[in-house]
Copies of this chain bind each other. A is one copy, B any other.
Amino acid sequence: MDIKEANGPSLTNRGRWGVDDDRGTLNFITDAARARGAAEATTGRVVSLAHPITPVPMAAPIAFAEHGMPAPVLQTLTFTGSPAPALTDVLLINVHHARSTHIDALAHIPVDNTVYPGIPLAEATAGGTVSRSSSSAFLDGIVTRGVLLDLAPGGRLAENHVVTADDLAAAEKRQGSRVESGDALVVRAGWVSADDPFGPLPTTSRSAVEWMAEREVCLYAGDIGDKLPDGSAEPPVLHDIGLAQLGMPLIDCLNVAELAQVCAEIGRYSFLFALGTIPVRGASGLPVNPLAIF
């Protein structure tokens, strides 16, 4: 399958920044984009965009208790002696858990056994780690302007609604916002996918991804995105095209409730978007806590 041909030249960035590139649309974050972001930080008011995770104990000190389902994070809390000079933890993280706010690295979704920007999968995974288009691309921090498009102010989109380019453009117009090259796009549909990842969540259309490509957004983050693999006949275009072809990192399962409130309250939908991922090289994704700073 030649997606490039089938979709027109705008729907892949494979090759656009060379064969060694692993940053994809993060390349749109120029000095100007970062300065535009910094200009948004005035009061220092901060909003977390992550859903808190309550870890499930793996074992002791309560080996015998009953727990709920495996959370995105399992914890072994440990006393380091008796009496205990310190408390420590081993955390076991299931990176792409459906209830966890996490970023997808570009290699997360292979296409025809290659990963962005066209590396054979076997080469990209040699050595038991992801050697190409991995979380390593995020190490230096992702700092730019963020723009919230609230698709359903004060409410939520209809069940199984498919978000189009028109929906995004309408939100821009309603808010008086303008998404520019290098901005981080934050979408609110009014659903909490972390609470019910298998529910009748809205999803995203190809036209919406085309809109993102045209606007040159540097990443997509939303309270909705694609349906889960087994949830629908709707193709997962954010993953299959946005992530794998455009090289646009995705943040799944974002928490935008407080962000939307603050934006509405102050009448401004743009902010400094600041994300420092935990500094782990070679992963297919990572749990994140992006900050919106006003």
Binding site for B on A (CB under 8 A): 31, 33-38, 41-48, 50-70, 73-98, 101, 107-110, 113, 115, 121-122, 125, 127-130, 136, 139-141, 143-144, 197-198, 228-230, 272, 274-291, 293
Partner of A84, one of B67, B93, B110: B110
Partner of A274, one of B31, B62, B276, B280: B276
Partner of A92, one of B46, B51, B90: B90
Overall SS of chain A's interface: loop
Q: How many copies does the complex hold?
A: 4
Partner of A69, one of B48, B67, B83, B87: B67
Partner of A64, one of B67, B95, B98: B98
Partner of A283, one of B58, B86, B89, B229: B89
Residues of B within 8 A of A141 (CB): 46-48, 289, 291
Partner of A128, one of B42, B62, B136: B62
Residues of B within 8 A of A272 (CB): 41, 44, 293
